[in-house]
Structure formats: structure tokens, C-alpha cells
């Protein structure tokens, strides 16, 4: 009896010692800042940047009455609506192709994954150049004259294309991991029943890796809702498409760090948090209809 | 016959996608060695530079002090990896292998942090960094990465997969908890530590907003944030811009090609945090 208590005591002692650095760090760097951001969203920085005064729901009233915020929310959602489904479907198809024993499998995988190890700042610069309406590669190779990133109607789609291009390799790797779990005899049985490749994909692959698809969807939507780097790098303030591409995180950056309206910036980021939480909860509820766990 | 056709279509698709992935990098490379007038010419459109402008390289390195930028970026990465791997393997071990009161609540906090968008932490983190007078310093860059909730989660998974008997044997041999951790358990999670290290490095290298906020000074900032600056200043000078982009991504691409298995594992386990 006495030995177990000694062991328990020592586990308690060392357990807390071991987690102490991480927990202290999380409390100082994340938990406190989160509470502080929420607090600031109810405050206004006083005159001359000194002190902050409580203004109740004023920031929220202003944010929800601000057409720029609504436009940014809509831009962000539009970006996500294009980026997520396309990147998921393309990645899934590529994963199915690469799941076969084919020559050059790992070479293709390495190439598709490449954009994941490059700074988005560099990616945005090269795409800005590719999209250049006068001297860009795309317009000159295909002999078209499209204002990819300065046409307000088109710009958000052009940005989403870069998003898709950047992330398909990543999604594909996750799908490949999911496909490893699917037993091969399912496909043999289906082939005997005369199911073609497309039918196999819809009726066998998709249901069997639905937990992976669900995971990718949830994390990709969260990621897409936080889009910032691409837009910050590609859209100058004198770009006519600027208002139609500004995302919520961009707006947060602009208010908090360019215009030093931290209370307003904090409010925008709390709104973003709420939107992401709502989207995630909807997916968690919706998953019961289509995600099959073993 | 049917097999060859479908094989042909398959390779066709894979090759088209590969070309799409590579062309932007190729274009970055080709443009980096052109003259400005070559990039502004459409009839004929110049694909390959007539004379490779090698001096673009030295011009850009001098103009933006890339040696310094690399030193800052690598310094930040090394420190973040050290902190993250050290704190996360300790806490990961405790969460996976030790029983103590309050463990579940604390682990709940770890999971909670992983679910919250990072932007919500940034304003107060910035205020702390500036109160500590760490703006424009490497420690300022490292600051939000001193601990890692994701790393704790990843290392916990790794420790949980190790067999129970190992620990029992160590205990019977008279090892106390720190010794068991140091000499028996931690060395067995090396591959998870490598994955966390790679994830941390790639994440820090790609991050744009934090270095722009805490290190606005050209000499103190990272590659990504320096590119953002150049992007605003150089406007139409695409050879210089592409050379700068090239200089900042080639070393990472080479590392990736050498250690691709570890890279893909390290990034793929991150659950969309990148």
C-alpha cells in the first residue's frame, strides 16, 4: 500500500513539474491574450494612445454597422467557398491516382507538395507576376488580356486559384494516409460486380475515408477563413479590386497595426472567432449524415 | 487496351498537374536572371534570358542584406525548435504516462489553444513584446513560439504509443521518473521530435504577420517580412523581386527535397495549422 502512495506522490510531483513550462507558456501567451483581446473589444484606446476606456458594446455596434466589415466577411467566405471544395476534390482525385502502384509515385507526391514548404510571401510575389496583365506569363502564353487581380469581379477568384494551387498537395497527402486504411479486397469485389472507377470512387472510397475528408474540410475551412498573406502581398491599396478582396484578417491587421485602433481590431477578430466556431459546429452536426466511422 | 488508355489518361493528368506546380517556380527562376527591359517586352515574349544577369544576385543580396535576414530567420527557427521540442516532450510525456490530479483540465487547455485562431492572441502578445523592449530582436520573433500546444499534443501521441513494459522495467531497475523520461522514453520519440522540429521550422519560416508587426526594422526582420517590404518598394522591377523570392525559398526547397519524407510527415500531422 505504502509503495503505491509514494509512487502516486511522485507522479503528481513530477507530472506538474513536467507540464509547468508548457502550461505557464500557454497561460501567458495564449489564455491571457485571448481574454485580453475579448476585453479590448469592449474598450477604446483613450486619446493620445493612453489607457483604455470601457465602451460596452459600442465596437460591436460599429462593426456590425460597418459595410466594410460585412464586405470583408463576404470576401472571406467567397474565398473559402472556392478554395476549399476545389482543393479537396482535386486532391482526392490525385490521391486516388497516386494510391496505385505506379512509376514515379513519390516524384509526383514531392512535386505536388512543394508549395507547402515555400513562404506564401514568395508565392504571392511570383503569382502577382504571372498574373500581370501586360507582361505576365499567363496572358502572353494564352494570348488573352485579363486583369486577373485588378478586376474587382475576378480578383477574389484569382486569389483562390493560388490558394488551391498551394494546398492541394497537402490535402492529397492526408487523403493518401486515409486511403492506406482502405482494404484492397473491397475494390476487387466491386470490380467483379462490374463497378467502374468512378462508381468505386463514389461508393467505396468516399464513404470509407469520410472521416479523413471531414477532418480535411474542417481544418481547411478554418485555414481559408484566416486568409491574409496572399491578399496582403498581392493587392495594393491603389488596386481597384482592393475593397472586393479585403479579408477579415486583413481588416484586423489594418485596424490593429496600421491605424492603431486596437479595440476595433480586437472586435473584428472576435467576430472572426465566432464565425469560425459557427461554421465548425454546423459541420460537426452535419457530419452525422455523411461521415462513417468504423 | 482499356488499361493502356486509362493509364495514358492517368499519366496525362499527373503530368499536367506537375507542370502547373513547377511553372511558377521555373518562371521565378528565369525572371530572376533577366533584365528589366526583357521582362517588359511582349513582342517577342522573352522566356529565357538572352544573357543571364548573374549580378542580379549580388545586387539583391546587398540591397536587402540577405545575410542578415537569413541569420535572423535561422536564429528564430533554431530557438523556436529548441523551446518547442524541450517543453513539448516534457509535457507530452506527463500527459501520456503520468497520472496526477488536474491533468485532464490542463490537457483540455492544450486542446483548446489548438482550436483558437492565432490572430486572437496577437494584439496582447505584441503589447507584451513591446513592454519587454523586445521589438526588432530575435527574442521578439521567437516569443509566441516558446511553447507549443500542437507539439505537446504530437509528443503525447508518440509517448502513448510506446509499450508499458518499458517503463515498468525501468522502474524495477530503480529509475525515478526523470531518469525514465530522459534515458528510456524520450530517446524513443525521436521521430516525433523531428516532425515537430520540421513543423516548427516551416511554420516560423512561412509566417508573415508576426515578424511584420514585431520587427518592422529591415535589419531585424525575417525573410518573409523583408519580401513583403520589397514587394511594396520595387513595384515593377520584377527581376530583383523574383531574385529575392528565389534566394529566400531555394534553401528550404533543397532541404525539402533531401528530407522529403520527414517534411511531409511533419507538416501533414499539423492538422491544417500551416
CA–CA separation, B187 vs B85, rounded Å? 12
The answer to whether the Cβ–Cβ distance between A117 and B263 falls below 8 Å is yes
Within a 10 A sphere around the Cβ of A291, how many other Cβ atoms? 18
Q: Are residues A124 and A12 in the same domain?
A: no
Q: Are residues A99 and A171 in the same domain?
A: yes
The answer to whether the Cβ–Cβ distance between A226 and B119 falls below 8 Å is yes
Domain boundaries, position A29: 2-40
Residue with cell 496582447: B124
Whether the CB-CB separation of B263 and B201 falls below 8 Å is answered with no
Residue A178 lies in a domain: yes
**Candidates B23, B124, B249; nearest CB to A119:** B249
Q: What CATH number belongs to B65-236+248-268?
A: 1.10.3720.10
The answer to whether the Cβ–Cβ distance between B117 and A26 falls below 8 Å is no
Q: Domains of chain B: which residue ranges?
A: 2-55, 65-236+248-268
DSSP per residue, B13-35: HHHHHHHHHHHHHHHHHHHHTS-
Q: Is the pLDDT of residue A197 over 80?
A: no
The reported pLDDT for the residue numbered A51 is 66
Residue A45 lies in a domain: no
Q: Are residues A97 and A6 in the same domain?
A: no
Is residue B26 within 8 angstroms of chain A, CB to CB? no
Q: In chain B, what's the furthest Cα-to-Cα distance?
A: 80
Q: Is the pLDDT of residue B230 over 60?
A: yes
Residue A206 lies in a domain: yes
Q: Are residues A210 and A259 in the same domain?
A: yes
Q: Are residues A135 and A74 in the same domain?
A: yes
The domain total for chain A is 2
Rounded to an integer, the average pLDDT of B76-89 is 97
Whether the CB-CB separation of B111 and B185 falls below 8 Å is answered with no
**Candidates B24, B208, B268; nearest CB to A120:** B208
To the question of pTM greater than 0.95 for the whole model, the response is: no
The answer to whether the Cβ–Cβ distance between A122 and B42 falls below 8 Å is no
Is residue B31 within 8 angstroms of chain A, CB to CB? yes
Strands (DSSP E) found in chain A:
43-45, 52-54
Is residue B120 within 8 angstroms of chain A, CB to CB? yes
Q: Are residues A150 and A11 in the same domain?
A: no
The answer to whether the Cβ–Cβ distance between B87 and A119 falls below 8 Å is no
Residue A126 lies in a domain: yes
Which chain A positions have a beta carbon within 8 Å of B206's beta carbon?
118-120
The size of the A-B interface in CB pairs under 8 A is: 272
Q: Are residues A12 and A149 in the same domain?
A: no
Q: How far is B12 from chain A (nearest CA, A)?
A: 11
CA–CA separation, B265 vs B198, rounded Å? 9
CA–CA separation, A157 vs A233, rounded Å? 16
Q: Are residues A22 and A159 in the same domain?
A: no
pLDDT (tens digit per residue) in B156-186: 999 999 998 888 888 888 889 999 999 999 9
Q: Is the pLDDT of residue B264 over 90?
A: no
Whether the CB-CB separation of B185 and B166 falls below 8 Å is answered with yes
C-alpha dihedral sign at B155, B160, B161, B162? positive
Weakest mean pLDDT among A112-126, A262-276, B160-174: B160-174
The reported pLDDT for the residue numbered A43 is 85
The reported pLDDT for the residue numbered B267 is 79
Q: How far is A204 from chain B (nearest CA, A)?
A: 20
CATH code of residue A203: 1.10.3720.10
Helix, coil or strand: residue A180:
helix
Nearest Cα to Cα of residue B66 among B274, B233, B237, B240: B240
Weakest mean pLDDT among A3-12, B97-106, B245-254: A3-12
The reported pLDDT for the residue numbered A55 is 83
Whether the CB-CB separation of A40 and A52 falls below 8 Å is answered with yes
Amino acid at each position: 500500500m505504502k509503495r503505491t502512495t509514494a509512487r502516486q506522490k511522485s507522479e503528481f510531483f513530477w507530472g506538474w513539474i513536467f507540464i509547468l513550462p508548457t502550461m505557464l507558456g500557454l497561460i501567458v501567451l495564449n489564455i491571457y491574450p485571448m481574454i485580453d483581446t475579448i476585453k479590448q473589444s469592449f474598450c477604446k484606446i483613450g486619446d493620445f494612445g493612453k489607457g483604455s476606456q470601457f465602451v460596452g458594446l459600442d465596437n460591436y455596434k460599429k462593426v456590425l454597422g460597418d459595410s466594410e466589415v460585412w464586405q470583408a466577411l463576404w470576401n472571406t467566405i467567397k474565398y473559402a467557398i472556392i478554395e476549399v471544395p476545389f482543393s479537396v476534390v482535386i486532391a482526392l482525385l490525385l490521391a486516388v491516382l497516386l494510391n496505385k502502384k505506379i512509376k514515379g509515385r513519390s516524384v509526383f507526391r514531392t512535386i505536388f507538395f512543394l508549395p507547402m514548404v515555400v513562404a506564401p510571401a514568395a508565392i504571392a510575389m511570383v503569382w502577382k507576376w504571372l498574373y500581370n496583365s501586360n507582361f505576365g506569363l499567363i496572358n502572353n502564353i494564352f494570348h488573352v488580356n485579363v486583369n486577373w487581380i485588378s478586376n474587382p469581379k475576378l480578383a477574389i477568384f484569382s486569389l483562390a486559384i493560388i490558394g488551391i494551387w498551394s494546398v492541394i498537395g497537402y490535402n492529397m497527402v492526408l487523403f493518401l494516409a486515409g486511403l492506406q486504411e482502405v482494404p484492397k479486397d473491397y475494390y476487387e469485389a466491386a470490380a467483379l460486380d462490374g463497378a467502374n472507377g468512378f462508381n468505386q470512387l463514389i461508393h467505396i472510397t468516399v464513404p470509407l475515408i469520410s472521416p479523413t475528408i471531414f477532418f480535411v474540410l474542417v481544418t481547411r475551412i478554418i485555414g481559408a477563413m484566416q486568409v491574409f498573406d496572399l491578399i496582403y502581398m498581392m493587392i495594393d491599396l491603389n488596386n481597384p479590386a482592393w475593397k472586393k478582396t479585403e479579408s477579415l484578417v486583413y481588416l484586423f491587421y489594418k485596424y490593429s497595426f496600421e491605424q492603431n485602433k486596437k479595440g476595433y481590431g480586437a472586435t473584428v477578430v472576435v467576430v472572426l472567432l465566432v464565425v469560425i466556431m459557427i461554421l465548425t459546429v454546423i459541420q460537426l452536426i452535419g457530419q452525422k449524415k455523411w461521415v462513417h466511422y468504423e | 487496351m482499356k488499361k493502356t488508355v486509362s493509364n495514358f489518361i492517368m499519366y496525362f493528368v499527373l503530368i499536367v498537374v506537375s507542370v502547373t506546380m513547377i511553372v511558377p517556380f521555373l518562371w521565378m527562376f528565369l525572371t530572376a536572371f533577366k533584365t528589366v527591359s526583357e521582362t517588359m517586352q511582349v513582342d517577342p515574349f522573352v522566356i529565357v534570358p538572352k544573357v543571364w544577369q548573374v549580378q542580379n544576385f549580388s545586387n539583391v543580396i546587398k540591397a536587402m542584406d540577405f545575410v542578415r535576414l537569413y541569420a535572423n530567420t535561422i536564429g528564430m527557427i533554431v530557438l523556436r525548435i529548441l523551446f518547442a521540442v524541450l517543453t513539448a516532450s516534457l509535457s507530452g510525456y506527463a500527459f501520456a504516462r503520468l497520472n496526477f490530479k488536474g491533468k485532464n483540465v490542463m490537457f483540455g487547455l492544450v486542446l483548446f489553444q489548438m482550436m483558437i485562431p492565432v490572430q486572437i492572441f496577437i494584439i496582447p502578445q505584441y503589447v507584451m513584446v513591446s513592454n519587454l523592449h523586445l521589438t526588432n530582436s530575435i527574442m521578439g520573433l521567437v516569443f509566441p513560439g516558446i511553447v507549443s500546444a500542437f507539439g505537446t499534443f504530437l509528443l503525447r501521441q508518440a509517448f502513448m504509443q510506446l509499450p508499458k513494459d518499458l517503463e515498468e522495467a525501468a522502474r524495477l531497475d530503480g529509475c525515478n521518473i526523470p531518469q525514465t523520461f530522459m534515458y528510456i522514453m524520450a530517446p524513443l520519440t525521436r521521430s516525433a521530435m523531428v516532425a515537430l522540429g520540421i513543423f516548427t521550422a516551416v511554420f516560423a519560416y512561412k509566417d508573415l504577420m508576426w515578424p511584420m508587426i514585431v520587427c518592422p526594422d529591415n535589419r531585424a526582420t525575417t525573410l518573409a517580412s523583408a519580401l513583403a517590404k520589397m514587394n511594396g518598394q520595387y513595384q515593377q522591377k520584377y527581376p530583383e523581386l523574383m531574385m529575392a523570392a528565389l534566394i529566400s525559398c531555394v534553401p528550404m526547397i533543397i532541404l525539402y527535397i533531401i528530407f522529403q519524407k520527414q517534411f511531409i510527415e511533419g507538416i501533414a500531422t499539423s492538422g491544417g495549422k500551416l
